Structures are given as C-alpha cells and as structure tokens.
Amino acid sequence: MSQSGQILSQSNSGKEPWLAVNLSSFWPGLGQLYGGKSIRGWILIVTEILLLSLGVWLIVFDTTTNTGLGFIFLIAAIIISLWNLFDAYSCTRKVNNLSFERLRKDNKDPWLAVFLSRIIPGLGHFYLKKYLIGILLLVLFIASTIFPLAPIIFQGIVAYYAYVASPVRRERTKNTIIIVAIFIILTALIAPLSRNLVEARYIPSGSMLPTLQINDRLIINKWSYSFQEIQRKDIVVFLPTEKLKEQNFKDAFISRIIGLPGDKIEVNGGKVYVNNQPLEENYIEEPPQYSWGPVTVPPDSYTVLGDNRNNSYDSHHWGFVPRENIIGKATKRFWPLDRAGAIK
C-alpha cells in the first residue's frame, strides 16, 4: 500500500483525467487540449466564446432581437460547459495505457480531491477519508464568508492542500497544482466582476405601469453610462437619495429620466414641461393630476418620474437624483417570456 505523500514516477507515461476535468472547468476545451485532442479542444473553446458573446449581446445590448434567443445561446453554452467535463475525462482516459490506468485507480486520485474541494471546501478531504480535517475546513470556509475575498483565497488553498494530502501524487503533475490553485483563485475573483456589468432586477410595485408590470424581471446594464450620457426618457435604477434614506428607504428605485442637469421642469395642466416645452409621452396612460414646479435641475442631478404618473413616489415628492446614485439603465425585460424584449 502506498504511503502518504508517495510520488510515483511511472505516471510519466500517462495523462490525468481528473486534471483534464479541472482544466475544462476553467474553460471548455482546455482539458481536451491537455489530453491531446487539439482540434476538439479548439472547437470547444471557440464555440463557447461565440455562444457566450452572442448571448450577452442579445440580452444586454441588442434592441431588435427577442431576448429569449440570447437566453437560448447562454443555455447552450452552459450545456456544452457541463458536457465538456465528461468529454475531457473520457478523452484523456482513452490515451492512457492499461498499466497507467491500473496504477491510477489503485489509489485515491489527487486531482479528483482537488475537483471536489472546488465544489465544497472540505469535500476533497472527505473523499480522502480525512473526515476531521474535512469538517474543520468546511467550518472555516463558512466562517470566512464574513470577510471579503477570504472564501475565494481559502478555496484555492484548500484545493492545493487536498492535492498535497493525497496518499499518492504522480511525478508528472506534482507542480501543476500550484498553477491550478492560482487559476482557482483568479477565476473566482473574475466571476464577481460580471455583477459590475449587468444585473437582474424585478419590479416590486406599480409605479412604472403600464411600461413595467409588477414582478417583471429586467436586465440592468451597469456599463451603459460609461460610454454614453444619460438620456431623457431612459429608465434607470438608482439608490435612495439622502432624503429617501431619512425616510428609511433602503432598496433601489426604478423610474424614468425626465429632467437633465440644468433643465427647467414643470408639471401643470396635465402635462410635463421641459424648458417651457411640453414633453411628448406616449408611455403614460393618464396625465398627471398634480402641479409641480417650475424647478431647475441641479448640476450632476436628474429629475425622475414614474410612468404611472399619479401613483408614483418620485422626484415631485422628494427632489432630484444625484448622478452617483444611478446604478444603470434598464434595457431588457426577460420575464415573462410573452413580453420579453427591449424596454422603451
């Protein structure tokens, strides 16, 4: 029986299937490249890039195509990424000779321990029958969630430790674990960045009727205003202003931009006036039954009004929205499917 930490040099003649799975979990096709299936690997890499790019473009940026098509591309990308794990394992195992496969199966696989540790820290140690250490690592991982970035770094360290703790580590891949652990940390750090680009929101109230219905699910483009100015009639999501915070509001609001910095805004006689000109609004069902203003929008601030003009808690109640409070632009509705598409 192999002693803990033993290194077997015979592995020079074989490939590690579970290493291939770990690589393909970073990006589809990498495990196939490692397993010697170069054409298959590059096809998967390019296909995943195309599917994800098309999906994100159609959902977030495109204003002409049904959003559902974008989700079909994303679902296809997810299916391929999952199938690719099984394929990476199969492709790599097939290139091995029988002696290496027998050697690999005689002991606990260090790369399977790494993969399990990536799913749940501590699970790899359970697989290695190091139960107390597994429980301790799981508890520490849960405790680490109170500190920013700590779970991400901890996960990479645990994966490395799972490899080191394996009874047998094969000579050919003993140094690769350091690179894999770094990739685990880097990919986990990159994933949260997507939340700085887009996010999903739902509509909890009727303030934007009829444009947005209660429980509609929306895509908020947080990138949009990095490349263009905020436009009149944009529908935006914003954090509560100071006045709203004083009233104990904590959740984000959604409303339509009506006044830009320096604009003179007035509501009178059932119409909204911008710089003394009536604003054409084909998105409201009934005219406002109140008077407000005239007011001048301060610099770096905006006037927002709900489309449900007489049942909306908006700027005519509490004032202007500072630029820094605006999270992003509502661009697409993705649920319900019968009304999915661009928001105008």
273 contacts 265 by C-beta, under 8 angstroms: yes
Burial class (CB in 10 A: 0-12, 13-18, 19+), 315: buried
pLDDT tens, residue by residue, 2-45 = 444 555 544 456 899 999 999 999 999 999 999 999 999 999 99
Return the closest-CA partner of residue 315 out of 304, 307, 323, 324.
Answer: 304
What pTM value is reported for the model?
0.78
**What confidence tier does 105 reach under pLDDT thresholds 50, 70, 90?**
confident
Question: Could you tell me which residue, 48 or 176, shows the higher pLDDT?
Answer: 48
What is the C-alpha to C-alpha distance for residues 193 and 213, in angstroms, rounded to an integer? 29
- At 171 the pLDDT is 58
Q: Which CATH architecture has domain 197-340?
A: Ribbon (2.10)
Average pLDDT over residues 60-69: 76
- At 342 the pLDDT is 84
- At 174 the pLDDT is 64
- Tokens of residue 246, six digits: 């004083």
Ranges assigned E (strand) in 96-136: none
What is the C-alpha to C-alpha distance for residues 69 and 71, in angstroms, rounded to an integer? 5
- At 4 the pLDDT is 44
Domain layout of the chain by residue ranges: 13-105, 109-194, 197-340
Question: Could you tell me which residue, 13 or 230, shows the higher pLDDT?
Answer: 230
- At 187 the pLDDT is 85
Q: What is the DSSP string of 18-55?
A: HHHHHHHHHSTTHHHHHTT-HHHHHHHHHHHHHHHHHH
pLDDT tens, residue by residue, 141-198 = 999 888 878 888 899 999 999 999 988 776 565 678 888 999 988 888 887 777 778 8
